[in-house]
Amino acid sequence: MDNKFITIEGLDGAGKTTVAHRMISYLNQYGITKILTTHEPGGTPISDLLRILIKYGGPTDEPINNTSELLMIYTARLQLIENVIKPALSKGYWVIGDRYDLSSQAYQGAGREMDTLLLHTLSDKITNILSPDLTFYLDISPELSLSRINNRRTLDRIEKEPLIFFDRVRSCYKKLASEKKNIITIDATQSLEEVSITIYRYLNWWFLCQQE
């Protein structure tokens, strides 16, 4: 089977990183060992610097404008696409991405209630050059998301937004997932084992479809 670009989406605390590691082990069983994982924002030296600004702000208390945040996210994504993801795919690697363009639609588009024309223009120009073959959306409530990440670390500037912000984010994720056939919604309130088994079943089905 040809190499693929698979992304994992959802609120923080949904288990994206753990699921990515589980998927690697699963793919290895099929003899797929050339696998690269990415995370957003970040993944290149420049993207990692932008990640710090996006998540924690700068060295002063200067507020970050919502449009500035969006532009930084797409700049970081373009660096990742051009300098990491596309070169890896050209060398035959499978790429598993922890977040991609769907996150911007949900967090900045719905969460920040931004101008959709600007968002769609950036998306069309930057990510249409490389769309995921398959996306798993791990669905949990904002309340569960915050309870999970509160137990792990201090919240960043986006995670400190009120619950209504994350309600909008989740609603957008669910709407987009219902509209696109290559986005699979997974109930991430299940145990990790149940989530993993569900994903393995979808991958099995997907592999069979690719061979037809």
3 state DSSP class of 162: coil
Residue 139 has pLDDT above 90, yes or no: yes
Confidence of residue 212 (pLDDT cuts 50, 70, 90): low
Q: Are 86 and 95 in contact (CB under 8 A)?
A: no
Q: What are the pLDDT digits (tens) for 159-197?
A: 999 999 999 999 999 999 999 999 999 999 999 999 999
List the structure tokens of 86. 């596309």
CA–CA separation, 208 and 108 (whole Å): 36
What's the confidence (pLDDT) of residue 89? 97
Q: Mean pLDDT in the chain? A: 93
Q: What are the pLDDT digits (tens) for 175-185?
A: 999 999 999 99
What's the confidence (pLDDT) of residue 65? 95
Residue 153 has pLDDT above 80, yes or no: no
In degrees rounded to 5, what are phi and psi of residue 141? -75, 155
**Topology adopted by domain 5-40+81-211:** Rossmann fold (3.40.50)
Residue 154 has pLDDT above 90, yes or no: no
Please give the helix or strand (H or E) that residue 183 lies within, else none: strand 183-187
What's the confidence (pLDDT) of residue 24? 95
Please give the helix or strand (H or E) that residue 139 lies within, else none: strand 134-139
What's the confidence (pLDDT) of residue 189? 95
Q: Are 119 and 77 in contact (CB under 8 A)?
A: no
Residue 35 has pLDDT above 80, yes or no: yes
Residue 130 has pLDDT above 60, yes or no: yes
List the structure tokens of 102. 């769907």
In degrees rounded to 5, what are phi and psi of residue 8? -125, 130
Confidence of residue 1 (pLDDT cuts 50, 70, 90): low
Q: Are 200 and 152 in contact (CB under 8 A)?
A: no
| Average pLDDT of the segment spanning 155-160 | 91
Residue ranges per domain, the chain? Answer: 5-40+81-211
What's the confidence (pLDDT) of residue 211? 64
List the structure tokens of 40. 């957003």
pTM confidence score: 0.94
Q: What are the pLDDT digits (tens) for 69-96?
A: 999 999 999 999 999 999 999 999 999 9
Q: Residue with structure tokens 């309340």? A: 143
Sheet holding 94-98, edge to edge: 35-39, 94-98, 5-10, 134-139, 183-187
Residue 117 has pLDDT above 60, yes or no: yes
